[in-house]
Structure 1
């Protein structure tokens, strides 16, 4: 009975390792991204332009942008270098231009509706995302 339990645990472990190891990243020619930075302390919302990332990496299984949090940190670090601290930064992405345009317009409408937020746009000359290759 102990051998059977040990064998089942071993097989379960191997299956879990195979499932997690099979998630691979692939390089795609273009990914479209934009960033948003907001704070709970004020009504200013910063929005980058839609940018093209050449040769970006996405997860093969679910088309998630690899190292998404690192892209958010790029934006956060930009704001900290401008002495604009305590911003929550997010990055939205899509593989098709029309999809990112929809996401961008949806976010923009959310913050312009009602006039409660001061939206400030960040030009590509001021901030540009850099491609991050996964480890």
Structure 2
């Protein structure tokens, strides 16, 4: 490899490392409240986890989304798949304000209870807790 190619490679590696570190530096670690929602399309059961505090959650400043939400959703999905029959689809609801998130939780619970074709199962914190799967 020529000296010019080595120099260009070194510069590209440095730029890549710098950009990666800058991108990781944009994430802010904050306290966020979250709960999980899950359902299986083969039955009419809706599963809700308890609202809980997630310390050191990363929020993307541009999108305002929880960056690790897919890991939390996968955690709830694996729990439901192991505990109950079927393949479940899961989502995470989150907010920086516990009060706003609890309003969303109550609204989901109320709407599910109104629906005569759905059954609500609330998963207590002692049974399931949100944690990232790496």
Q: Is the 8 A contact 1:56 1:131 kept in 2?
A: no
Q: CA deviation at 1:118?
A: 1.0
CA distance in 2, matches of 1:84, 1:95: 33
- Structural mapping, 1:54-133, within 5 Å: 54-131=55-132
Q: Unmatched 5+ residue regions in structure 1?
A: 1-17
Number of aligned positions between the proteins: 113
Q: CA deviation at 1:85?
A: 2.7
CA distance in 1, matches of 2:68, 2:115: 34
Q: CA deviation at 1:49?
A: 0.8
Q: CA deviation at 1:82?
A: 1.8
> Which residue does the alignment assign to 2:29?
27
Q: CA deviation at 1:106?
A: 1.8
> Which residue does the alignment assign to 1:11?
none
SS at match of 2:115: helix
Q: Residue deviations 1:1-20, cap 9 Å, x none?
A: xxxxxxxxxxxxxxxxx8xx
CA distance in 2, matches of 1:67, 1:76: 14
**CA RMSD across the alignment:** 2.1
Q: CA deviation at 1:83?
A: 4.5
Runs (4 or more) in structure 1 with deviation over 2 Å come to: 21-24
Q: Residue deviations 1:23-63, cap 9 Å, x none?
A: 821101x1111111111211111111101111111101232
CA distance in 1, matches of 2:28, 2:133: 12
| TM value normalised by structure 1 | 0.74
Q: Unmatched 5+ residue regions in structure 2?
A: 1-18
